[in-house]
C-alpha cells in the first residue's frame, strides 16, 4: 500500500515543470507568477490530501493546465454577480434592492475617476460639509429646514435616538415596535442608542392620551414607526403625525417618525398603494423624519434624516455621525437620483424603480407570449411550461404586503417531484448570469415584471 501511495506522489508534476507549459505562461503574464504559483501549490496540496484519504489522484489531475485555467476564472469572478430577478419582488433586499438610474451610474463613475469637492468649499477654498449639497436638495423636495445623510436607514434611526434622547425615555406605540430583516428591532436599537423604551397603547389601538399619560421629566422623544413590513387590520387606532407633533410642541418634547421605505411622491398617482411621504409629516410639525434611499426612493443604500434645523445640527455634531456617514459614491448616486424628482413628469421613464413598479400587466403578458414557445420547446421533455397571471410584491423586508398584477412563466415537473424543480432552480442559479425564480405551490415561477430584455434571458438559458 505504501508503495502504491508513493507511486501516486511521484505522478504529481513539479511547479517548475508546470510553469513551463505553453498554456500556463500567458496566465503568469496576466496574473503574475506569485498568484499562479500559490494556486498550483494549493492544487498540489489537494492532490496529496486526496492520495492520503482515498489512495487515488483527484479526477481533475488528468489535466492540470485545464484545471488551473478553470480555477483562475473562478478566482477572478466577482462575488457580486448580476442576476435576472424573476422572483416577483421588485425591491428584493437580498438582490440589492433598487436599480440605479443611468444618471446615478454616471455620477458614481465620475467621482470614482476624479478628485471631487466632497468636503471642499470652492467659495472660500476651505473645508465644507459633505452633506450640504444634498441637504439643500432634500429641503427643496420635502420642505425640511435641514437634512443629514448616513449609510442606511437603520443608522439614521440609531443616530436620531442617540443624539436626541440618549439617557432618556422614548415613547412608542406597542403596535409600532417593528422588526425588519436581519433581526433589526426597534427595542434593540433603543438599547444601543442608550435610550429607555416606554411602550404605550396596545398592539392594535393606541390613542393620544396614552402618550400624554406616559410623559414625565425623563421623556426625551415621542416617536412613531411606520409599519412598512406588516399590516394590522380590523379594530385599530393610531395617533396621527399632526396630533403627535402638537403634543410634542405643547410638552416641549421633540417628535420623530421612522418611515422606513419613505416615498418622495404620491404613489397613488401611478396606480400604486399609498405610502406616507416625508413632506407630509414635516408639514404636520414632526421634528425629524427618517427614511431609506434604496427602497421607494429608487437610489443607493442610504439613510436620510430631514427635519428642524436645530435638531439636524445637533445630529451632525454627534460623534457617532462620523462612523455612520455616507461615502462619495453614495452621495453622488443619491444626488443624481434626487435631481430626477425635480422633473416629476419624467420619473416613470428615468427612475428604474418606478418604471418597474408601474409596468402594466398586459405589457408583461405580451413578453410572456414571446418567450413561451421557445422555452416550452426546450423544457417540454421534463416540465409542463405555462404562462399564468400572478402578483408581484413591491419589497421583501419592507412593503411585502402590497401586490401588483403581473404575469409569469411556470414550470411543473412532469414526474411530480419537488426535487426535479429544485434541481432546475439550482441549474439556473449556476448560470453565468443566474436566473432567480420562486418555488411556490408545486411550481417554479418566473415573474417577468423585472425582465426588460427577453433576448438576454433566452441567451442566458442558451435558447
Are 209 and 284 contained in the same domain?
A: yes
Mean pLDDT throughout 115-137? 85
Q: Which residues contact 72 (CB under 8 A, 6 or more apart)?
A: 27, 31, 36, 39
Mean pLDDT of the chain: 91
Mean pLDDT throughout 358-383? 96
pLDDT digits (tens, 9 = 90+) for 205-232: 889 999 999 999 999 999 999 876 666 7
Residue 361 has what pLDDT?
97
Q: Of 106-120, 145-159, 171-185, which gets the smallest average pLDDT?
A: 171-185
Are 232 and 381 contained in the same domain?
A: no
Are 258 and 110 contained in the same domain?
A: yes
- 158 in any annotated domain: yes
Closest to 273 measured CA to CA, from 95, 113, 402: 402
Counting the structural domains of the chain, the total is 3
**pTM of this structure:** 0.88
d(CA 84, CA 444): 15
Q: Would you say residue 176 has pLDDT above 60? A: yes
Separation in Å, CA 157 to CA 71, 189, 212, 287, 333: 44, 8, 23, 13, 21
Whether residue 337 contacts residue 100, with contact meaning beta carbons closer than 8 Å, is answered with yes
CATH number of domain containing 322: 3.40.640.10
Are 273 and 125 contained in the same domain?
A: yes
Are 186 and 221 contained in the same domain?
A: yes
- 293 in any annotated domain: yes
Are 8 and 142 contained in the same domain?
A: no
Are 138 and 217 contained in the same domain?
A: yes
Are 313 and 418 contained in the same domain?
A: no
Whether residue 264 contacts residue 351, with contact meaning beta carbons closer than 8 Å, is answered with no
- Going by their DSSP bridges, the two strands 89-91 and 84-85 should be labelled as unpaired
Are 90 and 123 contained in the same domain?
A: no
CATH number of domain containing 447: 3.90.1150.110
Are 164 and 257 contained in the same domain?
A: yes
Mean pLDDT throughout 140-155? 95
d(CA 185, CA 189): 6
**Structural domain that includes position 208:** 102-345
- 134 in any annotated domain: yes
- 351 in any annotated domain: no
Are 455 and 390 contained in the same domain?
A: yes
- 29 in any annotated domain: yes
d(CA 345, CA 335): 18
Mean pLDDT throughout 397-411? 82
- 350 in any annotated domain: no
pLDDT digits (tens, 9 = 90+) for 266-323: 999 998 988 889 999 999 999 999 999 999 999 999 999 999 999 999 999 999 999 9
Are 154 and 215 contained in the same domain?
A: yes
Q: State percent of the chain over pLDDT 90.
A: 72
Which of 318, 345, 372 is the last residue in one of the domains? 345
pLDDT digits (tens, 9 = 90+) for 426-458: 999 999 899 999 999 999 999 999 999 999 999
- 236 in any annotated domain: yes
Residue 1 has what pLDDT?
54
- 454 in any annotated domain: yes
Beta-bridged to residue 84, according to DSSP, are: 435
Amino acid at each position: 500500500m505504501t508503495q502504491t501511495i508513493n507511486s501516486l506522489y511521484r505522478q504529481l508534476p513539479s511547479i517548475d515543470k508546470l510553469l513551463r507549459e505553453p498554456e500556463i505562461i500567458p496566465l503568469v503574464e496576466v496574473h503574475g507568477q506569485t498568484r499562479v504559483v500559490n494556486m498550483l501549490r494549493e492544487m498540489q496540496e489537494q492532490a496529496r490530501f486526496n492520495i492520503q484519504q482515498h489512495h487515488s489522484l483527484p479526477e481533475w489531475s488528468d489535466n492540470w493546465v485545464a484545471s488551473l485555467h478553470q480555477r483562475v476564472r473562478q478566482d477572478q469572478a466577482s462575488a457580486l454577480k448580476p442576476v435576472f430577478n424573476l422572483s416577483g419582488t421588485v425591491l428584493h433586499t437580498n438582490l440589492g434592492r433598487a436599480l440605479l438610474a443611468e444618471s446615478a451610474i454616471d455620477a458614481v463613475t465620475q467621482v470614482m475617476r476624479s478628485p471631487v469637492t466632497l468636503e471642499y468649499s470652492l467659495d472660500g477654498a476651505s473645508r465644507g460639509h459633505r452633506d450640504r449639497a444634498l441637504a439643500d436638495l432634500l429641503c427643496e423636495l420635502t420642505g425640511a429646514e435641514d437634512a443629514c445623510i448616513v449609510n442606511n436607514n437603520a443608522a439614521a434611526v440609531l443616530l436620531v435616538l442617540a443624539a436626541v434622547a440618549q439617557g432618556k425615555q422614548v415613547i412608542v406605540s406597542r403596535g409600532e415596535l417593528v422588526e425588519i430583516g436581519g433581526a433589526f428591532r426597534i427595542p434593540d436599537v433603543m438599547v444601543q442608542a442608550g435610550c429607555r423604551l416606554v411602550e404605550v397603547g396596545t398592539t392594535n389601538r393606541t390613542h393620544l392620551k396614552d402618550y400624554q399619560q406616559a410623559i414625565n421629566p425623563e421623556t426625551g422623544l415621542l416617536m412613531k414607526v411606520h409599519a412598512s413590513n406588516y399590516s394590522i387590520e380590523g379594530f385599530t387606532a393610531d395617533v396621527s403625525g399632526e396630533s403627535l407633533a402638537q403634543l410634542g410642541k405643547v410638552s416641549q418634547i421633540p417628535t420623530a417618525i421612522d418611515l422606513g421605505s419613505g416615498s418622495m411622491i404620491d404613489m397613488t398617482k401611478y396606480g400604486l398603494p399609498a405610502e406616507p411621504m416625508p413632506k407630509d409629516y414635516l408639514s404636520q410639525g414632526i421634528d425629524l423624519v427618517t427614511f431609506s434611499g434604496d427602497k421607494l426612493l429608487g437610489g443607493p443604500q442610504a439613510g436620510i434624516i430631514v427635519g428642524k434645523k436645530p435638531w439636524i445640527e445637533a445630529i451632525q455634531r454627534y460623534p457617532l455621525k462620523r462612523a455612520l456617514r455616507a461615502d462619495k459614491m453614495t452621495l453622488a448616486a443619491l444626488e443624481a437620483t434626487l435631481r430626477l424628482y425635480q422633473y416629476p413628469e419624467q420619473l416613470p421613464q428615468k427612475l428604474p424603480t418606478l418604471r418597474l413598479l408601474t409596468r402594466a400587466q398586459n405589457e408583461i403578458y405580451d413578453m410572456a407570449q414571446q418567450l413561451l414557445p421557445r422555452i416550452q420547446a426546450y423544457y417540454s421533455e421534463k416540465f409542463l411550461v405555462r404562462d399564468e397571471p400572478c402578483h408581484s410584491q413591491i419589497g421583501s423586508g419592507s412593503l411585502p404586503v402590497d401586490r401588483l398584477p403581473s404575469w409569469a412563466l411556470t414550470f411543473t415537473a412532469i414526474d411530480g417531484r419537488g426535487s426535479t424543480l429544485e434541481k432546475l432552480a439550482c441549474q439556473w442559479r449556476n448560470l453565468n448570469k443566474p436566473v432567480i425564480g420562486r418555488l411556490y405551490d408545486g411550481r417554479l415561477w418566473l415573474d417577468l415584471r423585472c425582465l426588460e430584455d427577453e433576448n438576454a434571458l433566452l441567451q442566458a438559458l442558451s435558447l
